[in-house]
Amino acid sequence: MSIALHLYRWAAAAQCLFKLTTCPICQTTLAPHEERLCTRCAANMPRTRYHLWPDNPMERRLWGRFPLVRATALMHYQRGSSYAQLVWMLKYKGRRDLGPALGRRMARELRSSSFFDDIDLLLPVPLHWRRQWQRSFNQSYLLAKGIAQVTGLPIDTRSLQRIHFTTAQAHHAGISRWDNVSDTFRLRHPGALAGRHVLLIDDVLTTGSTLTACADALRNEPGIRISVLTLAIAGD
Ligand SMILES: [Zn+2]
């Protein structure tokens, strides 16, 4: 093996170790008991605490779209803020380790409430296979993985399928964004989720059109109940 290759591998390993031992918000070195975020940045996270709030603003945003049992998000998404960077790093900067870590954080903070009561399964919003191939992972699945590790709930990645390849959501707004995702999902095996209480998992709720499109694919299942959990919510 050439010296250059050794050096390259050493540099890559050092960079990886630096990422895992440094708080991505403030860049301080993490203590052994701190998971991905330092204690100060974790404490200062702009939490919604919507799970403690009946008829919270996230639920109201989804009212009238589909029958919703409950919804919450861990934090507010403020574009350009250091906490919004977490989502950006997870989705676009290869920090897939942040997904399970943030999922575990969400679950630990919610499990003292009744939020997970009677949930049967976690349903991460699927990516189209082309998007997943491009990105090599699904950030909603990574969040669900962390939630499953804490709650023990199963993750269902088979039932819901994204059948349309949509262009980047960030470039769509308002009505055009809605058109972009409607009829985007389908159930592989109709009837398989009958009578179940599913928890849809996504990274950021903006207009709610993606989650509504998921619910549209699910809502004809007899007796299904749908709740929503996202890492962040924009615009509230
Ligand atoms: Zn920090």
pLDDT in tens, the chain (236 residues): 677 777 777 666 666 665 678 999 999 999 999 989 999 999 999 999 999 998 999 999 999 999 999 999 999 999 889 999 999 999 888 899 999 999 999 999 999 999 999 999 999 999 888 888 888 789 999 999 999 999 999 999 999 999 877 665 544 444 444 445 557 899 999 999 999 999 999 999 999 999 999 999 999 999 999 999 999 999 86
Interval between CA 170 and ligand 1 midpoint (Å): 27
233 class by beta-carbon count within 10 Å (0-12 exposed, 13-18 middle, 19+ buried): buried
Please state at what angle helix 139-151 crosses helix 98-110, rounded to 10 degrees.
40
Instruction: For the chain, list the domains and their CATH numbers.
Output: 1-44 (no CATH), 47-234 (3.40.50)
Place of tokens 């995702």: 181
Q: Which residue, chain included where needed, has tokens 């109201």?
A: 60
Compute, in angstroms, the gap from residue 107 CA to the centroid of ligand 1. Answer: 20
Helix (H, G, I), strand (E, B) or coil at 88: helix
Q: How far is the CA of 115 from the centre of ligand 1 (A)?
A: 28
CA of 38 to the centre of ligand 1 (A): 4
The widest CA-to-CA distance across the chain, in whole angstroms, is 63
**Spacing, Cα 46 to ligand 1 middle (Å):** 13
Q: How far is the CA of 80 from the centre of ligand 1 (A)?
A: 16
